[in-house]
Structure 1
Amino acid sequence: MPDHVRAAVLEDVAITYRTALDADENSKVRIHLALEQGVTTRELEEELGVPQQTISRWGRQGKEALERRREARAKRESGGQPTGEDPVRPGEPGPVG
């Protein structure tokens, strides 16, 4: 496979992977927000077909993700300099493009 084709395929895989991670995190944030609004883990278990223990874990992860997003937004709005890493997932490079 030519190098330019290999590079394009790898970039496509990376974009797809980041998109999947973003979708997963967005779902967890939505679960956290639903729990905050009074939806029970039992209701979510029945709706999603996922054990309550998993719903609780995802809710905690969603809360953490939302807090990271808020901190990153506050930093941007206060003129904080970007570090080159993804503010939503510290330690990972930011989006390409």
Structure 2
Amino acid sequence: MPPKKKVDLPDHVREAALADVELSHQQALDAEERDRVRVFLATEQGLSTYEIADRLGVSQQTVSNWRRQGEEVYRRREAARSRRSGNDPDRPTELGAVG
């Protein structure tokens, strides 16, 4: 196979293409995090790793890994949300409710 020719693009076009690739990559990472959180929440609602693995066509070990990763993301986002709203996640409110 002959070598590929490099296409000479103006700098602004090259930068725009790179920015688009970065955005697509970040969106893919964000979607992956959301999927992991969904797996975590599904297990919290009582679905077994077996049920989830069977439905997604992956191993139970994969689901367990995704559940753990999803829990980490979920806890991190909840802590950030509490900080933004001025609540300290480690300090109970007057009503005793914790976020």
Report TM bin, short chain.
0.7 to 0.9
Residue identity opposite 2:22 in structure 1? A
Residue identity opposite 2:76 in structure 1? R
After superposition, residues 1-97 of structure 1 pair within 5 angstroms as 1-78=9-86
Q: In structure 1, what is the equivalent of residue 90 of structure 2?
A: none
- Post-superposition, which runs of at least 4 consecutive aligned residues in structure 1 deviate over 3 A? none
TM-score for both structures, normalised by structure 2: 0.77
**Higher gyration radius (CA):** 2
Report the alpha carbon displacement of residue 61 of structure 1 after superposing the two structures with TM: 0.3
% identity of equivalent residues: 51
Alignment coverage as a number of residue pairs: 79
Q: Name the CA distance, whole Å, in 1 between partners of 2:67 and 2:56.
A: 13
Gaps of 5+ in 2: 1-8, 88-99
RMSD after superposition = 1.2
Gaps of 5+ in 1: 80-97
